Amino acid sequence: MESGDSTKRRLTILGSTGSIGTNTLDVIDRLGGRDRFEVAALTGNGNIPLLAEQARRLGAELAVTADDNLYQDLKSALAGSGIAVAAGRSGLTEAAERDAGWVMAAIVGNAGLAPTLAAARRGADIALANKECLVSAGSLFVDAVKTGGGRLLPVDSEHNAIFQVLENDQRHAVERIILTASGGPFRTKSLDEMRHVTAETARAHPNWSMGLKISIDSASMFNKALEMIEARHLFGLNPEQIEVIVHPQSVIHSMVGYSDGSVLAQLGCPDMRTAIGYALSYPSRCDLPVERLDFAKLSRLDFEAPDEVRFPALRLARRAMEAGGVQGAVLNGAKETALEAFIKGRTGFLAMAEIVEKVMDDLADLPPAATMDDVFAADEKARQMAAGLIG
């Protein structure tokens, strides 16, 4: 049961200062703000002024910075507000365990796994934007959601699209799902051109406005690779049922193919608020001020097969899915380490996939995870090995 005003919906946003978090708050504001919602907790990382402003504006009960060193800064920024303050991993867990029926899981990277798992275990509905919960923890995380009794509501635009058009009473008839990919800023670049790109050029996504890391993951198609692994766990599919098609316009967000030859697709203008609003209002739909798709002005929709030579992340995802076990955690841990090194100029764009593949080769014999500690151990081994390769 949720405490507080029973006429209002209580929620928590893990990662409120990032791209997904700020869009979530925009949706909340447009749907009535404090008149309709109670905010149990907000969490952020280094952007203390924004986190404090959000907490004051929405009357959050608790504000948390993931950085222990910024605790005093956040406490000072919220002095006199009556808003409780916490920091670090324990603070994130405290936020997740606060009584709220709906939790936006938008902390980027493996740091989001523990607090999201804590929210799932107590039975909250999880609006899932963090990829690592399913990529690294897979069935352990899905089982935690089922045991807790909450619902798993995908927020990634592709998974949300599938969630909207996947007919629950026809799951037996699903032949395949087709995840669309824009192709990113390097869709038409040669391998030689891609070898010399920088983090600044890689972050310039042609269609979506996203944070730095996810934008670079999109450019390398590691973002799509993670989505493939997620889709397997979200929708209970076999690896061979998951396809990827490059669709530069990002109008079709994903598709479901059925045994009678029908293909159902979800279309819309690129705007994360659509998926967020659907997850927040599910099973209803809400009114949102997003751009409407004008078919008369839509001159063409293009599709092409992905090039796994230039974008080997897709091949590595299939390998991880087929191997099972902790290979998703290994792939992700190595990828995050390589991505950090690329952002800092310590490794090349194409070298990221090479590093991930070498780590997967060396850790191919790790046993399956029986507990979350096994997942964290595999992740740590992958990160250490990747760091050693980077030097």
Are both 317 and 244 inside the same structural domain? yes
Are both 143 and 27 inside the same structural domain? yes
Residue 94 labelled as part of a binding site: no
Residue 201 labelled as part of a binding site: no
Residue 182 labelled as part of a binding site: yes
**Predicted confidence band at 203 (pLDDT cuts at 50, 70, 90)?**
confident
Residue after which a domain boundary falls, among 134, 154, 174 = 154
**Closest listed residue to residue 5, CA positions, set 42, 66, 64, 59:** 59
Q: Is there a contact between 46 and 75 (Cβ–Cβ < 8 Å)?
A: no
The answer on pLDDT for 207 being more than 70 is no
| 328-347 pLDDT tens trace | 999 999 999 999 999 999 99
> Is residue 388 one of the residues assigned to a domain?
no
| 52-62 pLDDT tens trace | 999 999 999 99
CA distances, 147 to each of 1, 117, 151, 210, 224 (Å): 16, 11, 10, 33, 28
> Is residue 335 one of the residues assigned to a domain?
no
Report the C-alpha gap between 87 and 91 in whole angstroms: 5
> Is residue 3 one of the residues assigned to a domain?
no
3 compared with 370, residue with greater pLDDT? 370
Are both 109 and 186 inside the same structural domain? no
| 259-296 pLDDT tens trace | 999 999 999 998 999 999 999 999 999 999 999 999 99
Residue 4 labelled as part of a binding site: no
**Predicted confidence band at 132 (pLDDT cuts at 50, 70, 90)?**
confident
Residue 238 labelled as part of a binding site: no
Half-sphere exposure at residue 257, Cβ-oriented, CA atoms within 13 angstroms: 12
Residue 157 labelled as part of a binding site: yes
Residue 158 labelled as part of a binding site: yes
Are both 136 and 63 inside the same structural domain? yes
CA 328-330-331 angle, to 5 degrees, is: 65
Q: Is there a contact between 26 and 53 (Cβ–Cβ < 8 Å)?
A: no
> Is residue 72 one of the residues assigned to a domain?
yes
Any alpha helices (H) in 203-302, and if so which ranges? 212-220, 222-235, 272-281
Residue 17 labelled as part of a binding site: yes
Residue 19 labelled as part of a binding site: yes
Are both 112 and 175 inside the same structural domain? no
Residue 250 labelled as part of a binding site: no
> Is residue 99 one of the residues assigned to a domain?
yes
How many domains does the chain contain in total? Answer: 2
Residue 47 labelled as part of a binding site: yes
Q: What is the pLDDT of residue 6?
A: 60
**Predicted confidence band at 108 (pLDDT cuts at 50, 70, 90)?**
confident
Residue 111: domain span: 9-154
Are both 243 and 125 inside the same structural domain? no
Q: Which domain CATH number covers 100?
A: 3.40.50.720
CA 335-192-218 angle, to 5 degrees, is: 35
Residue 262 labelled as part of a binding site: no
Q: What is the pLDDT of residue 346?
A: 96
Residue 322 labelled as part of a binding site: no
Are both 264 and 310 inside the same structural domain? yes
| 232-249 pLDDT tens trace | 999 999 999 999 999 999
Residue 240 labelled as part of a binding site: no
